[in-house]
Structure 1
Amino acid sequence: MPQPNSPSGPLEAEIRERLTAAFAPARLDVNNDSATHRGHMGDDGSGESHFSIYIEADAFKDRSRLERQRMVNHALGDIPGERVHAIAIKAEAPGIVP
């Protein structure tokens, strides 16, 4: 079961691949938070049920927070809500202090 700061699991790798392909981000942090949710609702035992994402890309310039969230969710396709219980997303344009 993947743990924080361990090699990524297949779903984490897929998240990185999809976001990199869609946005060519200047910065991308994908954190597997599943271990902190072990035994809670949505924990499917896979070790890849909860993630947090920080992504910085030019595509987000002049977009509202809601538009950026929708763009990321669209790029992730069937992952949010179907293959992963929860994803926290922070999406910014370069030069924005998070």
Structure 2
Amino acid sequence: MTDILATIQTKLTLAFAPSLLSVEDESHQHAGHGGAAEHKAEFGDTPSHIHIRITAAALEDLSRLARHRAVMDTIVDEVKRLHAIRLTVND
């Protein structure tokens, strides 16, 4: 697991105490797509595309949009170094 993925996992664990949390690098599925070379030039081996799957009681009473905002607000610094995030929250 890369540093950014570990940081994201730690932040989400501390913020939401999830019953399920998965942070996966999906960059290999997008190799050669537009922007891949630019991302590598700017951020090196930092993943460009990730999938976050999280289930947490702390997010249950929120609307879908509020859940997504809560997760994204928690990892705002890391988001700046990613090209795309696929997010599955309490689904």
TM-score (norm 2): 0.85
The share of aligned pairs that are identical, in percent, is 39
Residue in structure 2 matched with residue 84 of structure 1 by the alignment: 82
Q: How many equivalent pairs are there?
A: 85
TM-score (norm 1): 0.80
Instruction: Find the residue that maps to 1:29 and give its secondary structure.
Output: strand
Distance (whole Å) between structure 2 residues aligned to residue 60 and residue 88 of structure 1: 17
RMSD: 1.2
Structure 1 unaligned runs (5+)?
1-7, 93-97
Higher normalized helix content (fraction of residues)? 2
Q: Please give the per-residue CA displacement for 1:65-87, whole angstroms capped at 9, x wherever unaligned.
A: 1000000000102222x111111
Q: Any runs of at least 4 consecutive aligned residues in structure 1 with deviations exceeding 3 A, and if so which? A: none
Q: Please give the per-residue CA displacement for 1:27-79, whole angstroms capped at 9, x wherever unaligned.
A: 10111000111121342232511001110001111211100000000010222
2:46 and 2:81 in contact (8 A); partners too: no
